Amino acid sequence: MSTFPDTSSSAETQASGGTPVDDGVLDPLTMRARHISQVPLLGKIYRGMTSPLRLLPDFLLIGTQRGGTTALYHYLQTHPCIKPATTTDTHFFEKKFNKGLTWYRGHFPTSIERYYREHLRRQAFLTGEASSSYLFYPHAPRRVAQTVPHVKLIVLLRNPVDRAYSQYFHAIELGHETLPFAEAIQDEEARTTQERAKILQDENYYSDIYTHRSYLSRGKYAEQLQAWMGLFSREQLLILKSEEFYADPVTAFKRVAAFLHIPETEPQLRKQAYKQYSHNTYFSTMDPALRARLIEYFKPHNTLLYNLLGVDFGWDK
């Protein structure tokens, strides 16, 4: 497989009348990739018309939220053997599943493009997407298994205490939270239990409350992974520790490349992008006593995870 990038203009780009704009760095406040996608109406019509010719994802980055999912996907997009979806976070397998498979296919390259690359240019490619909510959403494992049973799944897991605190400030930024952190996690069960029950009862019901205020529940990784492992083989799952990704994204990226069977080409990004993602921006530090309580809270859940994976992530210190 050649590792030279494909610089030719695709029919889709020409039809849409615009291309994504990406400055190659991460936003220093939200730690998300700056990515502005401009898809005119003509482009959307074209994607819909060509949907039957379009591919389904070869891989999915499924979470966890605030664990580096978006950044890793951003790095993957720089690889010459990756053709990403037209947008980050399609939310298809949780929020937009009722839009149907035709709508979903419209976000991916065409089989004609794959044929051209493989048979004429001798350069294969993979396509995929990322959503940090898939890991946590109750219906997502079954929906993915029914739609793309042979897909490869990539998971980043972050210390659940740090992850919850980061999510809290993200919810503040988005206007989904007003309570202090201690009150928000204390009231989490009362705020989200009924919403989860509605989701389980009605597959088309979507809850912003459940999505944005499940601070502690999202950190119970073992039970989430078990739902996926019951439907996919272990060989289809790559599980990375977020802290290792933050500290050494190049090595983590090479693990992903090996998992996807693509050349270990380092992402063509400025080193500044890696450095910006090596830390997290908080508005304040967590109260030490509260942090200690949360470490104790997550210990049994972490133990289940360590036993499930056979790896101790060292989060209980």
- CB-CB contact of 81 with 124 (8 Å): yes
Cα separation values, 48 from 54, 92, 148, 305, Å:
10, 15, 20, 41
Output the CA torsion 294→295→299→305 (10° steps).
Answer: 90
Average pLDDT over residues 303-315: 97
Average pLDDT over residues 89-109: 94
Pairing of strands 152-157, 237-241: parallel
Neighbours of 220 (CB within 10 A): 18
Task: Report residue 266's pLDDT band, with 50, 70 and 90 as the boundaries.
Answer: low
CA distance 87 to 74: 11
More confident residue, 123 or 157: 157
Per DSSP, the three-state class of 265 is: coil
Q: What is the pLDDT of residues 34-47, one digit of tens each?
A: 443 445 677 677 67
- CB-CB contact of 55 with 123 (8 Å): no
DSSP class of 213: S
Instruction: Name the residue among 56, 39, 49 with its Cα closest to residue 111.
Output: 56
Cα distance from N-terminal residue to C-terminal residue, the chain: 44
Q: Is residue 9 over pLDDT 80? A: no
* pLDDT at residue 317, as a whole number: 82
Q: What is the pLDDT of residues 101-129, one digit of tens each?
A: 999 999 999 988 888 887 777 778 999 99
Structure tokens belonging to residue 119? 């048979």
Lowest mean pLDDT among 66-80, 208-222, 254-268: 254-268
Q: Where are the domains of the chain?
A: 11-161+220-291
E strand spans, 5-159: 21-26, 33-36, 59-63, 128-130, 152-157
Whose tokens are 């063509």? That residue is 268
Q: In what order do the strands lie in the sheet with 59-63?
A: 128-130, 59-63, 152-157, 237-241
Burial class (CB in 10 A: 0-12, 13-18, 19+), 314: exposed
- CB-CB contact of 306 with 299 (8 Å): no
- CB-CB contact of 255 with 240 (8 Å): yes
User: What backbone phi and psi angles, to 5 degrees, belong to 258?
Assistant: -65, -40
- Mean pLDDT score across all residues of the chain: 84
**Domain 11-161+220-291 class in CATH:** alpha beta
CA distance 191 to 221: 20
Residue 238 pairs with which residues in a beta bridge? 154
Conformation bin of residue 175: beta by default, left when phi > 0, alpha when psi is -120 to 50: left
Cα separation values, 146 from 109, 235, 260, Å:
21, 18, 21
Cα separation values, 243 from 5, 106, 305, Å:
30, 34, 16
